[in-house]
Amino acid sequence: MKKRLKLAAGAIAAVAVVGIGAGAAVAGASNERSLRGSDGNKATAAALEHTGEGRVNETEVGDDGAAYGVEVLLDDGSQVEVQIDSNFEVTGVEADDDGANDD
């Protein structure tokens, strides 16, 4: 009985380790974090002021070397990624052919 219990406990522990490792691998695949709160509001305002139009699909911290990234869907259906520095100044804009929340 004790041997069976030890084997079962070992199997459960192995499954848990594999599951945790897989979760860490998936989480490590993308280091992007959503931008929220006051900083999110400031970055969104800066991006929309720069583009003059559109709707924000996504905000990110530390995107492509910028402090913040804001994905904006423009009125014509195209999408741009607005890079913003830590002072909430726009440092660049590029066409974004990914969909919202794509990697």
Rounded to whole angstroms, the Cα distance separating 74 from 19 reads 40
Does residue 28 or residue 95 have the better pLDDT?
95
Residue 5 located in a structural domain: yes
Q: Are residue 25 and residue 65 in the same domain, yes or no?
A: no
Amino acid letter, residue 34: S
Domain count, the chain: 2
Q: Are residue 19 and residue 69 in the same domain, yes or no?
A: no
* Average pLDDT of span 9-38: 56
Angle at Cα 61 formed by Cα 86 and Cα 32, nearest 5°? Answer: 155
Q: Are residue 21 and residue 46 in the same domain, yes or no?
A: no
Q: Are residue 41 and residue 89 in the same domain, yes or no?
A: yes
Domain with 63 in it: 33-95
- The residue among 97, 64, 61 whose CA lies nearest residue 80 is 97
Does residue 35 or residue 52 have the better pLDDT?
52
Of the CA atoms within 13 Å of residue 17, those in its CB half-sphere come to 6
Hey, is 50 helix, strand or coil? helix
Q: What is the mean pLDDT of the chain?
A: 77
Say how many residues make up the chain: 103
Q: Are residue 38 and residue 86 in the same domain, yes or no?
A: yes
Residue 102 located in a structural domain: no
* Average pLDDT of span 64-84: 94
Rounded to whole angstroms, the Cα distance separating 3 from 7 reads 6
Q: Are residue 13 and residue 45 in the same domain, yes or no?
A: no
Q: Are residue 59 and residue 15 in the same domain, yes or no?
A: no
Q: Are residue 51 and residue 90 in the same domain, yes or no?
A: yes
Whether the pLDDT of residue 60 is over 90: the answer is yes
Q: Are residue 24 and residue 43 in the same domain, yes or no?
A: no
Does residue 100 or residue 50 have the better pLDDT?
50
Does residue 25 or residue 90 have the better pLDDT?
90
CB atoms within 10 A of CB 91: 13
